[in-house]
Chains A and B, each alone.
Chain A
Amino acid sequence: MSAYKDYQINRRHLLLGAAAFGSLGAIAPSLLASGAAQAAGVTGTVMTGSHWGVFNAAVKDGVWSAVSAWDKDPHPSAQLEGVMDSVYSPSRIKYPMVRKAYLEKGPDAPRDDRGGGEFVRVSWDQALKLVVNELKRVSTTYGPQGVYAGSYGWKSSGKLHNCQSLLRRMLNVGLEGKFVNSTADYSTGASQHMMPHVVGTLEVYEQQTAWPVVVESTDVLVFWGADPVKTNQIGWTVADHDAYPYMEEFKKTGKKVICIDPLNTETAKFFNAEWVPIRPHTDVALMLGMAHTLYAEKLHDEEFLDEYTVGFDKFLPYLTGETDKTPKTAEWAAEICEVPAAQIKELARLFKSKRTMLASGWSIQRQHHGEQSHWMLITLASMLGQIGLPGGGFGLSYHYANGGAPSANSPVLSGITDGGKAVKGAAWLTKAGAATIPVARVVDMIENPGKEFQFNGKTDKYPAVKMAYWTGGNPFAHHQDRNRLVKAWQKLETVVVQDSQWTATARFADIVLPATTSYERNDIENVGDYSIKAMVAMKKVIDPVFESRSDYDIFAEISKRLGKEKEFTEGKSEMDWIKSFYAAAEKQGKAKKIDVPAFDDFWKAGVAVFPIPEKSKKFVRHSEFREDPLLEPLGTPSGKIEIYSKNIEKMKYDDCGPHPMWYEPIERLGGPGAKYPLHIDSAHPQSRLHSQLCGTKLRAGYAVAGREPCLINSKDAAARGISDGDVVRVFNDRGQVLAGAVVTDDVRPSVIRLFEGGWYDPVEGGKAGALDAYGDANCLTPDIGTSKLAQGNCGHTGLADVEKFTGTLPELKVFTAPKGA
């Protein structure tokens, strides 16, 4: 023992001094250098823009500390608070990462643990080497259809760092366009394909009859499956919120507002509206019942139908039941939609007797046979005969990005192109090259390479995709039938995800690249999707955190490694591009005689606001068509509103006929063979942008027992022994999620509301059928196309049941807020 002590004493000084530091450098590294750092970053206020609006960021020593709304924002969104959180969230992707098994074995690695959370940090160089080699390998081995770059989602605002365009630009210039693309979106999948057949435009993304006209002339304002008070918080470019003061004005008039919705919405409460608690998924039946009433009572506008529409005569036998022995009477409709027949008739008469605006949301088309909804709405509006009159007719975008806010006389900014045209003989433009699929059929494609599919009159085959590169989106939030997706995802050999957040999709990737948020780079954007009232300098608020890089830099680097840097960048830096977009806007300004400030002045001021002419405030949608249908025809084959479409007739689809019809969806309340008793209303959330900001402080304002809230009617709750605040399990044959019960009669009986966009948090990551601990509604929804015509998603179709959860509560792991935080 004494010898040991001697040894100890002798060893005591081994570690002394600088020599020890030196010899043990690698295991006792020096992380500090002498000399204080230069004051890092700016101190002051930086104005920038986002989907939630223009805002000011308070910055101290390069660290963002607070958010305040732009003083010209008439109705700042409460969601702004969450924007800063998303930048400094522990859920940020900080470094390039590779799935552990993939790092060991590459694309041959077992894929069944994708989503299991086993990642390893690698250098940017190693990560990009893997990405580039894989792009080459897949396109060489499997041909031009091997790489899927139909990446979709609400990418950040900004004309340059448009990650989806940049991804395709990189593939166009660097991989000769060898990739599979997607078309359309999850928002309006059904209507954006149906509307061109009916009114000749997308209609869902068109300026609406201006709000001042609605305030002045509309007597009855109907929000049909629309909740603009909630959804106008956000905009695709930078939200202007210009609709809000007009909604206030309308409210002050005391004129009638009706909300047809399974929920007593924010909008219904704001306007103190009459709530028509329709059974979900039955809007077409209700419209038919109203149409039948108008016809039966000779209230329909024959003159309008004759002059401005085609095919009412072919629709009529269906309406009256001549063709199918089922007259679509108010009584028939009442059975389906649970709105009393007398009320249906009253509403039809009211709409006819007053100047009525039918303002519809998109929820009613984001469901099985969703093509019918707006087609029938326009048919009903045609029978009312007020289309093109001030304050009358229909509108499909009052709830989106402040549609109806009067447009400024302003230049529209261009943005980075995907480079398709820049590539001579791009393979994807040829028949032999890559394909395009309807965006919501992505899982069907992965599962069924070579399978034929129908799409808007064409027949095509699914490409055999082996690799997916996803950026600016989160299919593990927005796509339906999560468990089908989890399984199908395993068929992909390689998945690359480029994002700023550890989204569920990033967790299901092989290679993860950390992108900056838009607040860590410079960009430029218009303010107001419809008002286009300003241009905002989206100035960098802070330097990139950790090792994140801008989307532009990442794709420029990949292009460089593919030997095409110059083609990708065109020799331009970030600011060069921004200036070039601005220069194009200046040119437009000259042509339009708009005073556009010089770039340096604009950049210094941070924003350039343009005047809104009186003419814009008087805009009436379809008024020109109404005034002169011959000189101002619609873009349909007949130039008129097509209640009957010969083009659709030629498609001979069994699930989408040539005129609007009531089709039974695969499942609905009261429908044939309905297996579960409750409808899942998976509307857009109040305090998020789809899934964005779910990981921020905003969640504290709505989460129940830490989970996504599930609204349930008091009767349904009582029948199941569920109390407010209980953790409940929502389940059907497709999946199961936990959520926190909110017992309220703001939701009609037999309907539960679980907002879409709750972060998927499987108890066993990567396992199909796993219990989702947080409350991702899309674990429960079906992954089917709306019909062969549009192949849109059916995110608002789906029945389920609810029970009080009595098992051991699984911990939530999707948010990184640690214990005690």
Chain B
Amino acid sequence: MADRNIMPMPSSDRPLIYRWLSGLFARELDIEQIELYAAPDGRAFLDRLAMDDAFLPLVSAIRGILEDEQALHGRMLDLRAAYARLFLGAGGRRSAPPYHSAYASERGLLYQTEMRQMTDMLRELDLSVVDTLKEPPDHIAVQLSILSELAQRALEAQNQAPPPERTQASRRQIDFIDTHLLSWLPAFRDDCAAHDPSQFYSLAAAAVVTFLRRDRDDLATAEESEN
């Protein structure tokens, strides 16, 4: 299987991949998600993800949860507790606040400059965060959703727009990844690794960073070849 990741995720999959990664952090893993992972479409999705080294450890963890039905309830509760500990404040300092502001602001606060930047960006994209999510837009889940949207728009541009716009769409994603994601997610990943009692979220955070780095490089390579 050494050549498994030779074949990169097709660019057409990027919006979905980012939306999936966003979903991992948007809320706790619930029974609806478990059932979907266990259904044929979900299994196929996991199979495809497993072909990529960036996702294999995380996919294995998800499969592990699905396999042991008897332990499922307890495992899910553990994951909810891990989510609360890491992302909802229950872990105090031993946590990983999932907000760009918390990592970037001098005082480690929420709702700072980075949140405003996301608000502005959403406005610019003519988008808004669904009202069921009571989180500021510099939450990792919202940021990954924005990237998903940028990827989707780039995809559409690729099919319809002239080359300069295609390059622009690509550059926009690279800038977004550099400025709003890779600027803090490695530190966030480290905090998850240090404090996650479940390991699930540390794997998820690691997958995000690994995939983002590769995707960013791929985008840059594609941009160069366009030029």
Binding site for B on A (CB under 8 A): 8, 11-17, 20-21, 23-37, 40, 60-61, 63-64, 85, 88-95, 97, 100, 103-104, 117-121, 502, 507, 545-547, 696-697, 761, 811-821
Contact = CB atoms under 8 A, between A and B. Distances in A.
B36 A117 contact: no
A28 B107 contact: no
Contact of A12 (B10, B15, B22, B108): B10
A28 B19 contact: yes
B41 A24 contact: yes
A92 to B, nearest CB: 6
B77 A120 contact: yes
A119 B103 contact: no
Contacts of B97: 90, 816, 818
A104 B78 CA distance: 11
A24 B130 contact: no
B93 A94 contact: no
Contact of A26 (B32, B112, B136): B32
B17 to A, nearest CB: 8
Given A28-B23, A29-B26, A37-B129, A85 B109 contact: yes
Contact of B126 (A11, A35, A119): A35
A104 B83 CA distance: 17
Contact of A21 (B19, B42, B103): B19
Contacts, number: 217
B92 A814 contact: yes
A817 B16 contact: no
A21 B41 CA distance: 11
B48 interface: yes
A750 B215 CA distance: 63
19 contacts: A21-B19, A28-B19, A29-B22, A32-B122, A35-B128, A85-B109, A90-B99, A100-B77, A100-B80, A117-B91, A118-B90, A119-B81, A120-B77, A545-B111, A816-B108, A818-B188, A818-B191, A819-B191, A820-B187
A818 B102 contact: yes
Nearest to A502: B89
A815 B129 contact: no
A26 B32 CA distance: 7
A817 B80 contact: no
Contacts of B103: 818, 820-821
Contacts of A24: 16, 20, 36, 41-42, 45
A697 B128 contact: no
Contacts of A93: 89
Contacts of B110: 88-90, 92, 545
Contact of A28 (B16, B94, B99, B188): B16
Given A15-B16, A30-B145, A816 B88 contact: no
Contacts of B7: 8, 12
Contacts of B44: 11, 14
Contacts of B77: 100, 103-104, 120
B96 interface: yes
Contact of B128 (A32, A64, A103, A507): A32
Contacts of B91: 117, 813, 816
A27 B20 contact: yes
B145 A31 contact: yes
Given A30-B145, A818-B95, 10 more contacts: A16-B12, A29-B19, A37-B128, A94-B134, A811-B93, A813-B94, A816-B92, A819-B187, A819-B190, A821-B105
A25 B20 CA distance: 9
A20 B36 contact: no
B8 to A, nearest CB: 10
A33 B127 contact: yes
Contacts of B12: 13, 15-17
Interface string B15-35: 110011011001010001100
Contact of A120 (B20, B33, B80): B80
Interface in B98-128: 99, 102-112, 115-116, 119, 122-123, 125-128
Nearest to A16: B12
B88 A95 contact: yes
B48 to A, nearest CB: 5
A122 B160 CA distance: 45
B23 A821 contact: no
Nearest to A761: B92
A664 to B, nearest CB: 41
A811 B33 contact: no
Contacts of A815: 92-93
A699 to B, nearest CB: 10
B53 interface: no
B161 interface: no
A120 B90 CA distance: 9
Could you say which of A26, A40, A696 has the most chain B C-beta atoms within 10 Å of its C-beta?
A26
A31 B26 contact: yes
B47 interface: yes
A94 B127 contact: no
Nearest to A40: B119
B13 interface: yes
A267 to B, nearest CB: 30
Could you say which of A95, A761, A818 has the most chain B C-beta atoms within 10 Å of its C-beta?
A818
B169 interface: no
B85 interface: yes
Nearest to B97: A90
Could you say which of A34, A61, A121 has the most chain B C-beta atoms within 10 Å of its C-beta?
A121
Contacts of A761: 92
A547 B27 CA distance: 14
A819 to B, nearest CB: 6
Contact of A546 (B92, B128, B135, B146): B135
B1 to A, nearest CB: 9
